Each structure stands twice: as C-alpha cells, then as structure tokens.
Amino acid sequence: MSYTVDFTTVSTVGLESSPVAEALAGLRANEARYFKNKYDHVFTVHPADEAADTVAWIHRILDEERGITIASRPLEATAFQVERLRMAYVFYESGLSINVMYDIDDPKKRAVGFKLSDGMEIPEELADRFKFARQKSKLAGTIRGSYFVIKGEY
C-alpha cells in the first residue's frame, strides 16, 4: 500500500522495523518537503516488494557503476519524474536512503546519492569508498551524505 509522506507530521509508517525509524522517517520527510517546495511534487512511497523495478534499477546502477551490493533490507521505494529529471529512492531498514537523479537529456547530471539517518553507522559496503558530509535538518537531525556521478546509461 502506498504512503504519501507528510512532512508536517512526521510518521514512521512503513519504517517501523528500522532501529532508527524516527530518524529515517525524518529523512524521508525532509526529501518530501524538498520536492514539494521545489517542484510541487507529492512524495509517495511504496513497500519495496511493490516497487521491485525501482529497487532493481538502483541496485543495478550500484553494481555496474561501483560493484556495490547493499546489505540492508529495502523497506520502501519510489520513482517519479520532475521536469527532465528521473528520480528514484530506496529507504533501507538500516536507516540508509539511496537516491538516483538521472537527467534525461544531460549525461553529466546523473548521480547516485547516499544519505545516512541520524544514529546509524556507515554501512560496511560504503565505509571505505565514500566520505560523508554532514548537514542539519529540522526534520531529520544530522544527515550525513555522499554521492557519485553515474557514467553509464540506464
């Protein structure tokens, strides 16, 4: 069942099994607020098993670009297009959020972003490969993030 993310009243709906469910819900709400304010897009997520194509697309990019396999279980995912950007998100039980920003026209504007919920450790599969910068969020506390540029076509 899909869930429309409310960024005014943060809810852990769909994320309850995460040990950092509150922080992950804040991170998800932070993303929802960004897309509502910038693109007037309503951020709706689906259970990962209902969004298997989105999860598979992100996992394929991670594997083919960097040989990364995420150990944590995906809980929710979403995919949508705003303007000329194809966006996809997966939220994981560990508190990790991965997004793909894929500009349809400009191959130089394609990237994978990682965001770590407040209170979670850096996943082992990412620890030695990326440096994480910190950013403060009223909804999510301290978010640590990193990214890499996508070189291939997906």
Per-residue pLDDT tens for 7-26?
999 999 999 999 999 999 99
Per-residue pLDDT tens for 99-153?
999 999 999 999 999 999 999 999 999 999 999 999 999 889 899 999 999 999 9
Q: What is the share, in percent, of the chain residues with pLDDT greater than 70?
A: 100
Q: What is the pLDDT of residue 93?
A: 98
Q: What is the pLDDT of residue 55?
A: 98
Mean pLDDT to the nearest integer, 28-41: 97
SS (H, E, C) the chain: CCEECCCCCCCCCCCCCCCCHHHHHHHHHHHHHHHHHHHCCCCEEEEHHHHHHHHHHHHHHHHHHHCCCCCCCEEEEEEEEECCEEEEEEEECCCEEEEEEEECCCCCCEEEEEEECCCCCCCHHHHCCCCCEEEEECCCEEEEEEEEECCCCC
Residue 1 has pLDDT above 90, yes or no: no
